[in-house]
Chain A
Amino acid sequence: MGSYLLRRAAGFVFVLFGLAVVIFVIARIVPGDPARIALGPLATHEQVLQLRTEMGLDQPAIIQFATYISGVVRGEFGKSLLTNRQVSRDLAEALPATLELVLLTLILMTCVAMPLGMLAARRHNSAIDNISRLVSLLGVVTPGFVVAILLQLLAAETGRFLPITGRLSPDMSFSADITHLLVVDALLRGRLDVAGDAVLHLILPALALSTAGIGQVMRITRSAMLDIARREHVDTLRSFGVPGHVIALKYMLRLASVAPLTILGLEFASLIGNAFVVELVFSWPGIASYGVRAILSKDFNAVMGVVLVSGLFFVVANLLIDMLVGVLDPRLRRRA
């Protein structure tokens, strides 16, 4: 297991480094002068020159790359043109909001979708199966922004019981300074009113964000369970009279969870993408909102920071999932 983890970690560093290189290349092959693009056509030549020096653009490419990489390693992406602060500071502020949203989404995806997928497989071809298949299909094909808008409409219809903007109602004041996750910190500090309010704010964005993943995970869980049900080892246990629920919940589940977990890792990429839409629609003050603003205002340092952090998110999530899958399936540990 030890060398397995080491190898995974080495691969992880490699991918992250590659990601940093690709982003650097993309940012540098852009036609036109980044400083000029950032300042707009009205800026004077002197202003552009000054920004170029500030951004280090007057240095040779190799020096620029070295500065950039050493910055990335220290978690420094330079100054944001938009907020005029260090990008890393902006990101640190925006991160907990996104993290909270993504964590709840992942919980929904595993705790709702996997049991439903198993249920559908157990009741193969029944009404439950057909309904859940329809639901998962709709989940997969409905664009995140359509879901978000339909949820907003729904919230309007239900008399705004569920809030549709922000993380907290404006009349609440609370600073999350322990884990920076609002719900967790509010609970730790015993502020049930804040926690409740934060949960209400989370519901719609998390639902919007999880629809696609829930559909996908349900689908995969169902087909994995159906596939495993046909295997001979299930027959072995059945022929020795081991009860059906033990076979399903102990023996089949462990094998069947490998496929949806792997999918969950890959889905993470589209989940991060969808977060851009969802955060925008629900005015959620996370990394994605920050990213959209940075992109629209051509704030390069901020864009690079957002892309790298998103990549980091994805790679870490997949590393964790690989480790989990390695625990679940001893054969993978041995082979990989």
Chain B
Amino acid sequence: MITNRQRALRRLRHNPIAVIGGLMVISVILAAIFAPFVAPFPSHAGAVVDFRHRHAPPDALHWMGTDNVGRDILSRVIFGYRVSLTLVAGVLGVAMPFGVILGMAAGYFRGRTEFIIMRLTDIMLAMPPLVMALAITAILTPDLGNAMIAITALWWTWHCRLIYRVTSAIVTEDFIEAARLSGASHTHILLREILPNCMAAISVKTTLDAGFVILFGATLSFLGLGVQPPTPDLGTMVSTGAQFLPDQWWEAVMPGLGVLYAILGFNLLGDGLRDMLDVEIG
């Protein structure tokens, strides 16, 4: 007998791309956690100025070069991952459970509950998310916390819709009615019968979304509405660096590649998980 886990592991071995993605994700997470030890110039994460080394192109000492005030870009990218991952944890930590609960409720209870939740979701989905997040952060003061609030306020709708779709399919299965006939409560059915069947979709979606939250946050700060200097943030670094194009190209391109690396990692891992768990997340 092969267990689910063994089968998943076997599929993983046939899926080197997912393994690469996983390694990329792990490297980003480890770099963020151990930033003070990993970064070559940990002090450059703050408001340090070193005019002797400003605009230095990538070399053996500064692998990604230095910025307009002489700080090591690699060190700032590594510290930037801290900000990005904090954002991911904050947004998905709230939006995912919220969306899952509403989605399951709408799919399971149907009727008026479904109508209210799903029409609200429709309205929220009609707002271009970046535009809304921009508006919200602008009305509040731009900083990491407010960016997190703005993104979370929009992000739950996608999880809600996904889980609603998954749940709607599950409730038509006979085992839900069978559970009800054998005396199971609504809580039991939601948590024990339905939720386990949503886990595959949830884990794939969370992984893919981690990448997109990073992208989203970086875009906000690129437009000047996210994390404020001197906190090292990847989007801010790109937008500052863009002033020195094309001659000091590395100042914009290197942090850009840093964002790309993290998003790519989460995306490859998420795609691999999707193939492995065989879920459709639309």
Q: Which chain B residues (244-263) contact chain A, with CB distance < 8 Å?
A: 245-246, 249, 252-253, 256-257, 259-260, 263
B172 to chain A, nearest CB (A): 16
Measured in the bound complex, the distance between the Cα atoms of B131 and A314 in whole Å is 12
Q: A145-B222, A150-B256, A310-B131 are in contact. Are A295 and B126 (CB under 8 A)?
A: no
Q: Check B238 against A145 for contact (C-beta < 8 Å).
A: yes
Name the prevailing secondary structure of the A interface residues.
helix
Q: Check A272 against B131 for contact (C-beta < 8 Å).
A: yes
Question: Of B120, B129, B256, which one neighbours A145 at CB under 8 angstroms?
Answer: B256
Q: Which chain A residues (3-17) contact chain B, with CB distance < 8 Å?
A: 11, 14-16
Q: Which chain B residues (103-151) contact chain A, with CB distance < 8 Å?
A: 119-120, 122-132, 134-136, 138-140
B130 proximity list for chain A (CB < 8 A) = 270, 272-274, 276
Q: Check A273 against B224 for contact (C-beta < 8 Å).
A: no
Measured in the bound complex, the distance between the Cα atoms of B139 and A244 in whole Å is 57
B257 proximity list for chain A (CB < 8 A) = 146
* B223 CB within 8 Å of chain A: yes
Question: Of B123, B132, B260, which one neighbours A141 at CB under 8 angstroms?
Answer: B260
Q: Check B127 against A149 for contact (C-beta < 8 Å).
A: no
Q: Check A311 against B225 for contact (C-beta < 8 Å).
A: no
A280 proximity list for chain B (CB < 8 A) = 223
Q: Which chain B residues (216-266) contact chain A, with CB distance < 8 Å?
A: 218-219, 222-225, 235, 238-239, 242, 245-246, 249, 252-253, 256-257, 259-260, 263-264
* B215 CB within 8 Å of chain A: yes
Q: Check B127 against A310 for contact (C-beta < 8 Å).
A: yes
B223 proximity list for chain A (CB < 8 A) = 276-277, 280, 292
Counting contact residues on chain B (CB < 8 A from A), the size range is: 35 or more
* B267 CB within 8 Å of chain A: yes
Q: Which chain A residues (259-284) contact chain B, with CB distance < 8 Å?
A: 268-270, 272-274, 276-277, 280-281
Interface string of B180-192 (1 = CB under 8 A from A): 0000000000000
Number of A positions contacting B (CB below 8 A)? 52
* B65 CB within 8 Å of chain A: no
Q: Check A311 against B127 for contact (C-beta < 8 Å).
A: yes
Q: Check B123 against A307 for contact (C-beta < 8 Å).
A: no
* B80 CB within 8 Å of chain A: no
Question: Of B128, B235, B249, which one neighbours A273 at CB under 8 angstroms?
Answer: B128
A66 proximity list for chain B (CB < 8 A) = none
* A49 CB within 8 Å of chain B: no
Question: Of B127, B135, B253, B264, which one neighbours A295 at CB under 8 angstroms?
Answer: B135
* B211 CB within 8 Å of chain A: yes
Known: A15-B122, A143-B219. 19 other contacts (CB 8 A): A19-B126, A23-B135, A140-B267, A143-B215, A143-B259, A143-B263, A145-B235, A149-B238, A149-B242, A152-B242, A269-B127, A270-B129, A272-B131, A292-B134, A295-B138, A295-B225, A310-B131, A311-B127, A313-B128
Would you list 8 pairs from A and B whose C-beta atoms are within 8 A, ordered by A residue? A11-B122, A145-B239, A146-B253, A269-B125, A273-B219, A292-B223, A303-B135, A311-B126
